[in-house]
Amino acid sequence: MYDSGDESIVSRRALLRASAGTAALGAVGSVRADDSGGRGETARRFDGDCPDATIEPGMTHCEGASMDGCTDDHPATVELQSAVADALERRYPDADALIDAGFKPYFDTLETEDDSWSHWLSPTYIGDDAVLDPERPESVLVDNDSWRSIGVMFIATDGGEPVEPPAVYGTDESEELCSPWHAHTGLPGRFAWWYYRQAYERDFEEGDLEFPCRTPCMLHVWTVDHPASVYAHDAPPADARDLPPADDPAFETDGVPGEDELDWDVLPDELVPERTPESIARPFGLDLGR
């Protein structure tokens, strides 16, 4: 985490130096499954110590978690979604506000699904001890077409380290449990968390270049209509994200909300790391078939 005024310089230098650690990914080679439907020898070597890991996007319920009792009209769900929507409207309505609040962008490079939304992560909130706090979301989810916030992704961490997450409701055994926390076991999610830790937390400075077997527990809360659930893992369909463009941002950009896709290319230089996720993944053959 950064407190100094030259945060952007540190970020760029840090990831440039961390690029030496990407040699750890060199053994991955092509991680496509083999023609027989198996994982391939390279993939097996890559995930040899991660029995639950997958090459394609994948996730697993966190220990003790369950969506069985989760309903969109439950008072606790309504209260949580309303609180998240209020916080986004007041504090984090769009990419411009997120930059002001110190959030860091991550544009998925290995996802094979719809990639027209992005994760913006807060080192400050990931590093504190609050969990499931709408005012302090560890990550805000942004529609890349309108540049507007469309939900949050809570990450169960304390001081940046994974912790057991709290349930939304149902802990008193008087009603069915709603604890829709999941961890990513697929390569795209694991790569994203590894990249965040190297780029913005500078784990490499302490010699920690380990590629994780899974991410911390995470929980989505969407503030736009989602046909699956308020807590759905995948993004809402495109028609649910047909939002008016955000106001012209205060940061310097050639991009226009609603006309240009939000990506590294439209962000100011000081927000773009020296090594973007794509520049690290592609040279080492991290290819999921895009």
Rounded to the nearest integer, the mean pLDDT of the chain is 82
pLDDT, tens digit (0-9, with 9 covering 90-100), for 63-120: 999 999 999 999 999 999 999 999 999 999 999 999 999 999 998 755 545 568 999 9
Distance CA 184, CA 59 (A): 4
Residue type, 118: S
Is it the case that residue 11 has pLDDT exceeding 70?
A: no
Burial class (CB in 10 A: 0-12, 13-18, 19+), 259: exposed
Residue 13's pLDDT band (cuts 50, 70, 90): very low
Mean pLDDT of 238-264: 94
Is it the case that residue 130 has pLDDT exceeding 60?
A: yes
Residue 203's pLDDT band (cuts 50, 70, 90): confident
Is it the case that residue 190 has pLDDT exceeding 50?
A: yes
pLDDT at 70: 97
Mean pLDDT of 123-144: 97
Q: HSE, CB side, 13 Å, CA atoms: give it for residue 200.
A: 24
pLDDT at 16: 43
Higher-confidence residue of 178 and 32: namely 178
pLDDT at 276: 87
Residue type, 38: G
Instruction: Determine contact, residues 210/198, Cβ cutoff 8 Å.
Output: no
Instruction: Determine contact, residues 266/254, Cβ cutoff 8 Å.
Output: yes
Instruction: Determine contact, residues 193/199, Cβ cutoff 8 Å.
Output: no
Is it the case that residue 197 has pLDDT exceeding 70?
A: yes
pLDDT at 86: 98
Query: Residues of the chain with pLDDT > 70: what percent?
Result: 78
